[in-house]
Structure 1
Amino acid sequence: MRHRTYDILLVEPKSDSVSRFTDSFETSETPNNVTVVSTGDQALDYIDQHGDYTDAPRPDLVLLDYHLPETSGIELLIELKDRPELQHIPVLVLTSSDATEEISRSYALHANACLQKPDSADEFDQMVQAIEDFWLNSVHFLPKEK
């Protein structure tokens, strides 16, 4: 296991999903800081360190809801993958359905994975455990910028 704390940006407008994700990450064995924003505009401010987020760390991982108010999940995905300084950040797109069109479009825009949001707390725990096992404990990340 690596000895570092991972910064995770959760871009999720639904409070029940936020609670389930954050509860699951709190019980994770891998040290992490989860920051939650509910819109694409807030996510861009966070990533660009604007407004309330001037001291925000660059996220190691982005969990991105497909359906967002204001700047959509797809627009945010395009922005993240178009900017060379952000392209290395893994983006996991979260969808509430198994709509082939959403999944296909996400992968075409270079999402690193598409995940269907679980229904139960146990399923959220399982998903977060899978994210932890692969993305936080197996994948090599670039060193943090200082």
Structure 2
Amino acid sequence: MRGTVGGEGSRRRPGGPARSRPAGRHDSRRPAGPPRALRPGPHHWFAERLLAVVSGRRPVHSLLGHTVGPAYQQLVTLAPSDPLRDRLRPVVRQCGRFTPGPGVIEAFARIATGDRLTAMAFRLEQGPDLRWRCAAVEIQGPRP
């Protein structure tokens, strides 16, 4: 605490207020994050988690708080009974979305397992707490 007025980590200029910006910066705005086009949306997060459950890398109950309606039961049906062992690991190749209205995302993911492709479609709904939850899942093609 020696040498600082406000305690550990506080930056005070002698006789002045605490600093909230880097030295040499004259405006009070914070730097922006990555451009909006580069930030992955919630559909990317859900695509990875849904694939992990459907491929057997994660248990179904890991998405219990992230599903609503019949989606959890759909995952129980889609998840393999035996865990992933000597199979190829599936990966999300592409993920896209359509927004039919506020608080709803209908998304798709193209999943590659070796030279096989599988399509996964899912619906996300935003609750009153602003958290996204999966409301439906569907898989077409060979199972990942």
Q: How does the TM-score come out when normalised to structure 2?
A: 0.23
Q: Which has the larger radius of gyration?
A: 2
Which structure carries more helix by proportion?
Answer: 1
Higher relative contact order (CA 8 A, sep 6+): 1
Q: How does the TM-score come out when normalised to structure 1?
A: 0.23
